[in-house]
Structure 1
């Protein structure tokens, strides 16, 4: 019984939410967007930026169709706090591209994609460079 009593006391502000509920619904019902959906959007938008070889542990956009879009969310962490998303993505860069410029493009592309598709605001997008691919394409 004490477990049931302690669960409702947790504040949404202090505890990450699982998914995101849209607030501007026309009274018919609620729309919830799962964290994995947001992570997939983040992953897909990231692989569309020039200079990104792959999401760490994943493949580029070209192979996504063969392996399935769900793989794009691997290497992306999403945490919802107070209706805003904090995202972290790990990538492998292509050799020869400017890391700061590429990361800036990733942040802009991801922010626009997530906001346009979901209405969710990106509060933070942290990028980890896990490696540089030196293979010639």
Structure 2
């Protein structure tokens, strides 16, 4: 993603946008992250993952997350969507039109 400014231009790599989205999703209560897990689990499969797509001048995120036990999934997904949208837009100034969330696992 790139943009022009008065004194030059900036390009933000998709990987950075994905990292921002994962950070925002990880801050939501109940989202599983490596530091919260037992060492026997495969961390890279448990951490939130993101894939960003540019559609026109807007961004569309596809996130995959795992939730801890006793979590209100509906509320957590809504919180993730709002958090990712707000954080990405505030940090980059790029409009986020959609945040799709796939729940891969619910720890019981």
Shift, 1:74, TM fit: 7.0
SS of the residue aligned with 2:28? coil
Paired position in structure 1 for 2:64: 90
Residue 50 of structure 1, aligned match among 29, 32, 37: 29
TM-score, with length taken from structure 1: 0.67
SS of the residue aligned with 1:36? helix
Q: Structure 1 residues 112 and 92 mapped into 2: Cα distance closer, same or farther (>3 Å)?
A: same
Aligned residues between the structures: 99
Structure 1 unaligned spans of 5+: 1-19, 64-72
Distance in 2, Cα, partners of 1:101 & 1:125: 14
TM-score, with length taken from structure 2: 0.83
Residue 84 of structure 2, aligned match among 98, 101, 110: 110
Shift, 1:21, TM fit: 1.2
Q: Deviations over 1:13-36 (max 9, x none)?
A: xxxxxxx1124x11x211111111
CA RMSD of aligned residues (A): 1.9
Shift, 1:133, TM fit: 1.9
Say if 2:2 and 2:9, in contact at 8 Å, map to a contact too: yes
Shift, 1:75, TM fit: 2.1
Paired position in structure 1 for 2:2: 21
Q: Structure 1 residues 52 and 74 mapped into 2: Cα distance closer, same or farther (>3 Å)?
A: closer
Residue 30 of structure 1, aligned match among 9, 14, 20: 9
Q: Which one is further off, 75-84 or 39-48?
A: 75-84
